[in-house]
Amino acid sequence: MAWRFALLIDPVPADAPDADFSDRFEEIDPSAPALTVGELSTQRGDGIFESIGVVDGHAQEVDAHLERLAHSARLCDLPLPHIGQWRQAVARAAAHCGPGEAVIKLILSRGVEHGPTPTAWVTVAEAADFTAARTHGIRIVTLDRGYAIDVPARAPWLLLGAKTLSYAVNMAAIREAKRRGADDAVFVSSDGFVLEAPTASLILRRGDTFVTPAPNAGILHGTTQLSLFDHLEKQGFTTAYETIPAADLPRADAAWLVSSVRLAAPIVAVDGQPVAHDRELTASMNDYLLSPRD
Ligand code: PLP
């Protein structure tokens, strides 16, 4: 990944008055060492993050990402972010993006044991080229997530609805998908309901209705899915959150994995079987997702 910019943040309390926070930011060399060895984000994956898509210097859906950062902080008992301070950090990062697509990553870590806490930083990197996934689509396999759909409510300490830094399981699922000859995975609960992909939300189309698994199933509430549902509703479609049996996935009129940087990737095969997809609608979804969105 080509890193372009990194900014350390000295976080102020969430209820501090709004101000110019530039004196609490420190621009650092993105290729030089920056964290101490006692950092709990690297030692335990104990922290949270957001990845924001940037198109031609415009950071997309910043408020939705900052709201989710605050939601993750609440679930993880981390100090709540000061939204105004983080918005300024994102604006500073976006100014380093230039033309084309980039990714701004926000990281809030529990910090250093017996040391400064929390630690926080923002990075900018070039985005990979996702043209092939957006236009030719992706083959997915369904993978058992290993817990039932009611587990998130029974065991909140599993932090299933938080975007934590502990993505080793998510990355392992993508490797397993590739071993099985696919491009990506869709997690299925042990009682047979589709959840989400390791780094994306799932959307199915049934006639003029678009459905996605309800976020209370211990999945992330995707900012791209939210934005796309808003757009589809304005075009006269119906949208809904549902508990969706895995058997509905290959039977859908079309299905997509959607996320902030890859955007809408149409699913073209499920567990080795080709499924229906809609090139034209996918292209119009990606045109919308690439337009400036707040
Ligand atoms: N679900 C998971 C597990 C993710 O990691 C992501 C994004 O990285 C998403 C869903 C999609 O979220 P967003 O649309 O906000 O990128």
pLDDT digits (tens, 9 = 90+) for 93-143: 999 999 999 999 999 999 998 887 899 999 999 999 999 999 999 999 999
pLDDT on residue 113? 87
Q: Residue 214 has what DSSP assignment?
A: -
Cα of 259 vs centre of ligand 1, distance in Å, is 5
Which of 187, 220, 223 most suits a substitution to test ligand 1, by most atoms within 8 Å of the C-beta? 220
By percentage, how much of the chain surpasses pLDDT 70?
100
Asked if pLDDT for residue 63 goes beyond 90, the answer is yes
Sign of CA dihedral 266, 169, 11, 2: negative
Q: Is 212 in the pocket of ligand 1 (CB under 6 A)?
A: no
Q: Is 224 in the pocket of ligand 1 (CB under 6 A)?
A: yes
- Residue closest by Cα to atom 9 of ligand 1: 200
Model confidence, pTM: 0.98
Q: How confident is the model at residue 2 (pLDDT cuts 50, 70, 90)?
A: confident
Please give the single-letter amino acid code of residue 208.
D
Give the mean model confidence (pLDDT) for residues 180-199: 98
pLDDT digits (tens, 9 = 90+) for 245-283: 999 999 999 999 999 999 999 999 999 999 999 999 999
Phi and psi, residue 122, nearest 5° = -130, 140
Pick the atom of ligand 1 nearest to 196's CA: 1
Q: Do residues 153 and 283 make contact, with C-beta atoms less than 8 angstroms apart?
A: no
Q: Is 51 in the pocket of ligand 1 (CB under 6 A)?
A: yes
If residue 139 lies in a helix (H) or strand (E), which one and from where to where? strand 138-144
What is the average pLDDT value for the chain, to the nearest integer? 97
Q: What is the C-alpha separation between 279 and 254, in angstroms, rounded?
A: 10
- Residue closest by Cα to atom 4 of ligand 1: 199
Sign of CA dihedral 44, 165, 163, 6: positive
pLDDT digits (tens, 9 = 90+) for 94-107: 999 999 999 999 99
Q: Is 85 in the pocket of ligand 1 (CB under 6 A)?
A: no
Q: How confident is the model at residue 180 (pLDDT cuts 50, 70, 90)?
A: very high
Which of these, 217, 222, 70, 243, lies nearest to 158 by C-alpha position? 217
The alpha helices in the chain, defined as continuous H runs, are 40-44, 62-75, 83-94, 131-136, 151-154, 168-179, 223-234, 248-251, 279-290
Q: Is 61 in the pocket of ligand 1 (CB under 6 A)?
A: no
Q: How confident is the model at residue 174 (pLDDT cuts 50, 70, 90)?
A: very high
- Residue closest by Cα to atom 12 of ligand 1: 222
